[in-house]
Amino acid sequence: MKQKPEPLEILRNIADIDRMERGKLCIIRHGPNGPYFNLQRREGGRNVTEYVPPDQIPQVQTNIEAHDRFQSLVGEYETLITEQTRRERKAGIKKKPSPRKSPLPKKPKSKT
């Protein structure tokens, strides 16, 4: 069984990522020397497209993979901290007594 990573270990892994780029590499056309690529991403709610020269393709792909790794690590961290927070909160809650049906105290029946 795989052991869950510690929050600090995840944060260290995030800190090790020194370059990343959001987006997707797409082939825009094929030329005599191979495909031409652009990088597509969203910024400020708009699609942005940027041509990527052939010599930069490997680095951009590495940067995109680093961004994907970053997103994955942030998701792991969020899940781990959320689970921890819920456990701590639930451990501090004691079972409440069941509420009475009537908000007023019961009166003894009078004998007549």
Region 92-110: what's the mean pLDDT? 65
Furthest CA-CA distance within the chain: 110
So what's the pLDDT on residue 30?
93
Over the stretch 13-49, which tens digit does the pLDDT of each residue have? 999 999 999 999 999 999 998 999 999 999 999 999 9
Residue 80: what pLDDT?
A: 94
* Distance separating alpha carbons of residues 34 and 39, to the nearest angstrom: 16
Spell out where 24-77 has E strands: 24-31, 34-43, 46-52
Task: Select the highest-mean-pLDDT range: 68-77, 86-95, 97-106.
Answer: 68-77
Using the predicted structure, report yes or no on whether residue 53 has a pLDDT greater than 80. yes
